[in-house]
């Protein structure tokens, strides 16, 4: 029953999306027949005096896994935190330029940041479940957005945990504290928590950097499964990971996009010398 429900859900989501996408054909840039979820145009960001992102231009397509790689301090985390405006939690941040989410500039004054983050979910570097039960963790998102019906919440929790491939491990202890789980399980709980509000895009900020290799593998498999229904943007310090799981890869260096292309192309025949130096391990 649950499987059919998930299927229903998927088709329904597609319907919702295609209805949203009517009239967006004109902005298709690549030869691929895909819509742009995030269009970044001449985007700049400063932390105080530090110019962290310089003239970023990047079009991210839906239902792609887009990897962002680059050495530490290159601005890759800053960039995806700009996509759901989490950067604004740092008080000294200034921005200019445009980031369009589904054709609307997220930095325009009337844009409610809560609305944006409801559509654009995020998984963080360190697993950060709340010190609540597993159930309450998953139900957190729906609850803050006003869904209170217990039956609906039950279904959302189960579906989200299944979606994050952790249902079988935790179904018997939904009322236990999420902190009792291992790091890898916690991170998948965080992914499930993110799925519970059915975002359009999932941002992942080095989601496996705190995990052991086996947990990392599970999360990577999960990303592959999720890409059918979600657009995923993943920051990683691990080039093999980018090569394994992503469709597109952007290479950031010193706050600039050096190269953005299909992952195969980036890792086989990069155009820019700096990209080649980085992926062949000459620096970083």
Partner 1 sequence: MRYIDDTVIMKRMKTRLNKNRGWKALFFTGTLFALLCLVILLVRIVSQGFGYLDWDFLTNFASRFPERAGIKAALIGSIYMMSIVAPVSIILGVATAIYLEEYAKKNKLSDFIRMNISNLAGVPSIVFGLLGLTIFVRSLALGKSLLAAGFTMSLLILPVIIVAAQEAIRAVPQEQREASYGMGATKWQTITRVVLPAAIPGILTGSILALSRAIGETAPLVVIGIPVILQFLPDSPFSEFTALPMQIYDWAKRPQEEFLYVASAGIIILMIFLVIMNSIAVFIRNKFQKRY
Partner 2 sequence: MASQGSGNGQSIQDMIAKSRNSKGKKITEKLMPILLFIAALISVLTTIGIVFTLIFETFEFFQRVSITDYLFGTNWFPFSGNNPTFGVLPLILGTLKITVIAIIVAVPIGLAAAIYLSEYASDKARRTIKPILEVLAGVPTIVYGFFALTFVTPILQQLIPSLKIFNALSPGIVVGIMIIPMIASLSEDAMSSVPNSIREGALALGATKFEVAIKVVLPAALSGIISSIVLAVSRALGETMIVSLAGGATPTFNFDVTGSIQTMTAYIVQVSSGDAGYGTTIYYSIYAVGFTLFIFTLIMNLLAHYISKRFREEY
Q: Interface with partner 2 includes 170 (CB under 8 A)?
A: no
Q: Interface with partner 1 includes 129 (CB under 8 A)?
A: yes
Shortest distance, position 241 Cβ to partner 1, whole Å: 21
Question: Which range, of 12-20, 34-42, 69-77, 136-144, touches partner 1 by CB under 8 A?
Answer: 136-144
What DSSP element (H or E) covers 54?
strand 50-61
Residues binding partner 1: number (CB under 8 A) = 29
What is the rounded radius of gyration, in angstroms, for the C-alpha atoms of the chain? 19
Q: Interface with partner 2 includes 16 (CB under 8 A)?
A: yes
Instruction: Quote the CA–CA distance of 51 and 5 in Å, as a whole number.
Output: 47
Instruction: Quote the CA–CA distance of 162 and 173 in Å, as a whole number.
Output: 14
Q: In the Cβ-directed half-sphere of 17, how many Cα atoms lie within 13 Å? A: 22
Residue 94: partners with Cβ closer than 8 Å, 6 or more residues away: 45, 46
Shortest distance, position 235 Cβ to partner 1, whole Å: 14
Give which of partner 1, partner 2, none residue 2 binds (C-beta under 5 to 8 Å, depending on kind): partner 2
- Residue from 46, 47, 107, 124 touching partner 1 (CB under 8 A): that is 124
Residues binding partner 2: number (CB under 8 A) = 26
Q: Cα(first)–Cα(last) distance of the chain, in Å?
A: 49
Q: Interface with partner 1 includes 189 (CB under 8 A)?
A: no
- Residue from 144, 149, 182, 225 touching partner 1 (CB under 8 A): that is 144
Residue 22: partners with Cβ closer than 8 Å, 6 or more residues away: none
Q: Interface with partner 2 includes 6 (CB under 8 A)?
A: yes
Encode 85-108: b = buried (16+ Cβ within 10 Å), e = exposed: bbbeeeeebebebebbbbeeebbe
Question: Which range, of 9-17, 35-43, 52-60, 128-136, touches partner 2 by CB under 8 A?
Answer: 9-17
Residues lying near partner 2 in the complex (CB under 8 A) are found at 2, 5-6, 8-9, 12-13, 16, 115, 118-119, 142, 145-147, 149, 151-152, 154-156, 158-159, 196-198
């Amino acid at each position: 029953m649950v499987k059919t429900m998930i299927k229903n859900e998927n088709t329904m989501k597609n319907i919702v999306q295609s209805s949203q996408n009517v009239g967006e054909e004109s902005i298709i840039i690549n030869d691929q027949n895909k819509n742009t979820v995030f269009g970044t145009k001449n985007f700049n960001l400063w932390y105080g005096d530090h110019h962290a992102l310089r003239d970023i231009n990047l079009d991210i397509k839906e239902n792609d896994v887009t990897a962002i790689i680059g050495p530490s301090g290159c601005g890759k985390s800053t960039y995806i935190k700009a996509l759901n405006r989490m950067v604004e939690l740092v008080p000294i941040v200034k921005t200019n330029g445009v980031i369009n989410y589904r054709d609307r500039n997220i930095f325009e004054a009337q844009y409610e940041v809560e609305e944006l983050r409801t559509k654009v979910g995020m998984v963080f570097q360190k697993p950060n479940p709340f010190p609540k039960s597993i159930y309450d963790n998953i139900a957190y998102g729906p609850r803050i957005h006003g869904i209170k019906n217990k039956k609906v919440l039950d279904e959302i929790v189960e579906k989200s945990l299944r979606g994050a491939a952790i249902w079988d491990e935790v179904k018997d202890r939904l009322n236990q504290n999420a902190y009792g789980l291992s790091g890898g399980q916690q991170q998948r709980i965080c992914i499930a928590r993110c799925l519970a509000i059915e975002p359009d895009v999932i941002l992942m900020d080095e989601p496996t950097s705190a995990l052991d290799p086996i947990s990392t593998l599970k999360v990577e498999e999960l990303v592959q499964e999720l890409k059918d229904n979600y657009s995923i943007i993943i920051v990683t310090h691990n080039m093999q990971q980018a090569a394994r799981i992503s469709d597109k890869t952007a290479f950031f260096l010193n706050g600039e996009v050096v190269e953005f292309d299909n992952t195969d192309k980036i890792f086989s025949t990069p155009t820019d010398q700096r990209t080649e130096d980085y992926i062949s391990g000459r620096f970083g």
